[in-house]
Chain A
Amino acid sequence: MKILKPAKAGTYESNDIYIMIQPNDNGIKIELESIVMKQFGKRIEEVIKETLEKLEVKDAYVVAKDRGALDYTVSARVETAVKRAGVEK
């Protein structure tokens, strides 16, 4: 999948994550803000990366605002944002 235009998914509500995705020139760049950064920051970034890999996204700029989302929520929000942003290659 190639990211063609900016897209978003999710909410700023508790137990959710707000994902914004934009086109990028070289590789994956993730900027994460989380209320549980110290405990789970690394893990959330991993889930975002894994989801992008699964969808074969090679270049993307991702900004994520997390309010304590569980792994599968993170993954679902990323997938939705990607599908809103791009087309199948």
Chain B
Amino acid sequence: MWGIDISRVDLKSKERDEIEGFLEKFDLSLDKDVEYTICARQNGEIVGTCSFSGRVLKCFAVREDMQGEGLSGKLITELTNVMFDRGIYETFIFTKPKNKDIFKGLGYKVVEEAEDVVLLEGGTSNVKRYVENMFKRSGLDSSEKAALVINCNPFTLGHRYLIERAAQENDEVVVFVVEEDKSVFPFKVRLDLVKKGVSHLKNVKVIPGGYYIISSATFPSYFLKQKDKRLKAYTELDARIFGKFIAKAFNIKKRYVGTEPYCPVTWDYNRALMEILPKFGVDVKLVERMTICDKPVSASYVRELIKEGKMEEVKRLVPKTTYDFLISDEAKDIIERIKG
């Protein structure tokens, strides 16, 4: 382990190509969303690399002849220190099931395992503690509940219809709003519009979804809208985490989802939920999506109308609370961005 230098990679320089070339040998690539990359060199040659994006460590590889020499520990220390200094204390790693022991030996814990992918957590993360705190903060009691997980980019009449259905058929309903800030409507706005849009339903509680429900940690493909070989693994992982931790802590017995005519990623996700959640004692209720003038109501269609400036048509598809927001000064920046 002598003569090894670890340094940050300038992702805009030629060194990036070198890293990509190195990762290729491991059948890996440097993901587009990588924020920070380090690399270890011996006599000028790359022997290892690791990156992070948000809370997730990724694109991790060590040259075969250097494995087992302690280089992984050095790379993880270096990167964890950088993240810590940026205020990221809770970290995650995805890996193939066959590699999980490497990270377990480095202080990472398995959150959940699907057929083709394992999610591990490190730093100060602890899924049990986190979900228990979520439940405590929600102020809910331990009675049986129905749940929905929605992004609401932005909140439409379709979302409201689905929540109303759940509210009619159940004593208590909890709505998790996807917290990851990767949508054109910021999380705070999305959460606020859902809260306002369902304030007439007394048995509905709207809360932030946190790290473990459709986040970059449980389900990265959701945000990349990528239908690739990893999608099945990720949908399964997210569904299992929901069943094992969230449903258990909140005593959720049913999860409502809307039919998905447009987005193949969401469609696959629904299918994974229907297959996996019943194993954890959670029924999945698939509700036919609301249609207005023979067209299913969807947030992506609403965004398209906003882009074309057809605000009168938008008005028919969203609750008044959402519409009032869209024509307010606060929404100007968001609408500019949608119009691109």
Contacts and interface: CB of A to CB of B under 8 A. Distances in A.
Interface of A: 6, 8, 11-14, 18, 20, 22, 31, 33, 35, 61, 63, 65-67
A14 B73 contact: yes
A65 B106 contact: yes
Which 4 pairs, one residue from A and one from B, show the smallest C-beta to C-beta distance?
A65-B107, A13-B73, A11-B77, A12-B73
A14 B89 contact: no
Contacts of B122: 65
* Interface of chain B: mostly helix, strand, loop or mixed: mixed
B123 interface: yes
A13 B109 CA distance: 17
Given A22-B89, A65-B122, A67-B106, 12 more contacts: A6-B84, A6-B87, A8-B84, A12-B74, A12-B76, A13-B74, A14-B70, A20-B123, A33-B107, A63-B124, A66-B107, A67-B105
Interface string B62-104: 0000000010011011001100100101000000000000000
Contacts of A33: 107, 109
Interface of B: 70, 73-74, 76-77, 80-81, 84, 87, 89, 105-107, 109, 122-124, 126
A89 to B, nearest CB: 24
Nearest to A34: B107
Given A6-B84, A6-B89, A22-B89, A67 B109 contact: no
A67 B123 CA distance: 14
A53 B89 CA distance: 24
Nearest to A62: B124
Contacts of A13: 70, 73-74, 77
A63 to B, nearest CB: 5
A50 B30 CA distance: 44
